[in-house]
Amino acid sequence: MSESRPWVEKYRPRRLDDVVNQKGIIKRLKQFLKGKSMPHLIFAGPAGTGKTTSALAMVRELYGSKMAVNETFLELNASDARGIDVIRTYIKDFAKARPPAKVPFKILILDEADNMTSAAQQALRRTMEKYTQNCRMILICNYSNKIIPPIQSRCVVFRFSSLSNDDIKERIKKIAKRESINLSADGSNALIDVARGDLRRAINYLQSCGTISEKVDQELVFRVAGEVPPEKVQKILKTALNGQLTLSIKLLNDLINQYGLSGRNIIKDIHREIYDFNISEEMKIELSKLLAEFEYRLSQGGTEEIQLQALMAKIVLLNE
């Protein structure tokens, strides 16, 4: 297995056609490339759905062999300095410089743009408007509502949707085959569970598992991801609902010791399982209210052991 670089980068699609499960968006982006003209763009949506990949694929397809950092395109993310001074100097200088010959315009990619301060976004407004002929911008964010309205009005917004389980499964199976990893069926399903629509997370967990063992199964995936198999959470919940407080606390402590989970992790795991649990709707409502209450207590500094045992006691009392 090659460990020269993260698999997320190694298997990043280089063409728009290879981006997973965003066919409507890709079709519209290809129309921009075909006409060699595009407006400023905003790519918004959950993490790991192909926003940055789509932007980089557009750059590759538009420039081809002419692709050169700082000459035809520039990518900045939240780890780079993007305060108001950088917008007024570095970004402005890049935007106002004419593109090289035979290049219609340059592209500036601002990843995680929703982390930019309001002042920096205000400074970006005029640059976007004044130097449109030389430079088009692609702003990438998880939450488009954090982009100020004047910038949104200057852009076309594309909203990326979470990836389906089938799309994630197909891609991770392809990567596992190329990396000579024996990915079991339950291991594949576990990767989908922990990814929750984020393909990048699934690939990272697959790589982490692959460095430990060439056989990846459910147990290994959950251990690497720091999550608990659903059946173990369901067993604790069922035991408490049956009125067995001491046993449910013992199972809970065993789970914490085995997986090294925090109290808030446990509450999130229980919350994820209650809606598929075979109990009445009224019981699900009461459990949701209890979990919200104890999650808040932990967030305010409550002692984990005491609060989790109190949670189990409250669940036992629900059946009385």
CATH number, domain containing residue 115: 3.40.50.300
Residue 242 shares a structural domain with residue 274: yes
The CATH number for 206's domain is 1.10.8.60
Residues 150 and 27 in one domain: yes
Same domain, 132 and 148: yes
Q: Percent helix, strand and coil across the chain, each rounded to 5?
A: 60, 10, 30
The predicted pLDDT at position 2 comes to 47
Q: Are 171 and 198 in contact (CB under 8 A)?
A: no
Residue 150 resides in a domain: yes
- pLDDT at site 79: 64
**Does any domain span residue 13?**
no
| Cα dihedral across residues 10, 14, 18, 20: positive or negative | positive
pLDDT on residue 276: 83
User: Has residue 142 been placed in a domain?
Assistant: yes
pLDDT (tens digit per residue) in 27-78: 999 999 888 889 999 999 999 899 999 999 999 888 887 777 778 888 888 6
Residues 193 and 279 in one domain: no
- For residue 5, name the pLDDT band (cuts at 50, 70, 90): low
**Residue 140: beta bridge partners?**
43
- Classify residue 109: in a domain, yes or no: yes
Residue reference for tokens 């891609």: 171
SS3 241: helix
Pair (133, 33) in one structural domain: yes
Domain-terminating residue out of 209, 225, 241: 225
Distance, in Å, from the CA atom of 240 to the CA atom of 214, rounded to the nearest integer, reads 38
pLDDT higher than threshold 80 for residue 137: yes
Please indicate, yes or no, whether residues 99 and 181 belong to a single structural domain of this protein. Answer: no
Number of folded domains that form the chain: 3
- DSSP three-state, residue 5: coil
235 token code pair: 């067993």
Q: Are residues 210 and 88 in the same domain?
A: no
Entry pTM: 0.79
CA-CA distance, 129 to 127, in Å (whole number)? 5
Q: Is 216 helix (H, G, I), strand (E, B) or coil?
A: strand
For residue 15, how many C-alpha atoms fall within 13 Å in the half-sphere facing its CB?
A: 2
**Is the residue at 17 inside a domain?**
no
Q: Given this model, what pLDDT does residue 117 score? A: 86
Instruction: Give the pLDDT of residue 259.
Output: 80
Q: Are residues 175 and 146 part of one domain?
A: no
Is residue 10 one of the residues assigned to a domain? no
Q: Domain range for residue 172?
A: 168-225
Higher pLDDT, 83 or 130: 130
pLDDT of res. 230: 86
pLDDT for the residue numbered 260: 80
